[in-house]
Amino acid sequence: MYYFDKQNILIEIKEVIVKEQLLFLVGDEIFSNIPDKYLKTAFIPVNWNRALKFLTKIDKDLQCEIIRTGYMPLEIHIYLDFINKTTALLTQDNFFYQIIEKPLFKNQFMKQVFDFKNRNKISYRNYNITTEIIDKYFLENSSQIFQKKI
């Protein structure tokens, strides 16, 4: 395994009422309870506009009333497994580990994480490298290129 990087993410949590029972929706999973240390800070109004967010997905068949929406900060560590050709995700909390092991997070959201990490990198078009390009940009020819410009 190779340690790749860490990423801070905001996990969206929705407090919902389903059949007169208070539940919490995280990703596409419903939880009956969430540790208090996260609930205390999840619903504080803060400006999270530029952060990477893991949003909830409400099933069409779920009849619920949304009470409020909040965010829980999470730091994940990304490892690359070259043998199995997968990524491994780790976090320091067992509750969050349950969330990052869900298929919605691993299969869909991780693509957004890598896109977010690479958002400022320049992407080049694929084009054929011809002998003219090699001759023009070859390191030995660079001195000739600079001499022509002077």
Q: Each residue of 59-100: pLDDT tens digit?
A: 777 788 888 999 999 999 999 888 888 888 999 989 899 999
Percent helix / strand / coil, the chain, rounded to 5: 30, 35, 35
pLDDT tens, residue by residue, 126-142: 556 666 766 666 555 54
Instruction: Give a yes or no: residue 147 inside a domain.
Output: no
- Among residues 65, 88, 59, 71, which one has the least CA distance to residue 34? 71
pLDDT at 105 (0 to 100): 92
pLDDT at 90 (0 to 100): 93
Range of the domain at 94: 2-117
CA distances from 71 to 24, 46, 126 (A): 12, 9, 40
Instruction: Give a yes or no: residue 104 inside a domain.
Output: yes
When divided into structural domains, the chain yields a total of 1
Q: Which conformational region is residue 30 in: left (phi greater than 0), alpha (psi within -120 to 50 degrees), or beta?
A: beta
Instruction: Give a yes or no: residue 127 inside a domain.
Output: no
Instruction: Give a yes or no: residue 97 inside a domain.
Output: yes
pLDDT tens, residue by residue, 11-70: 999 999 988 899 999 998 899 999 888 888 888 887 777 889 999 888 777 788 888 999
Instruction: Give a yes or no: residue 31 inside a domain.
Output: yes
Handedness of CA 113, 119, 120, 122 (dihedral sign): positive
Give, rounded to a whole angstrom, the gap between the first and last alpha carbons of the chain: 51
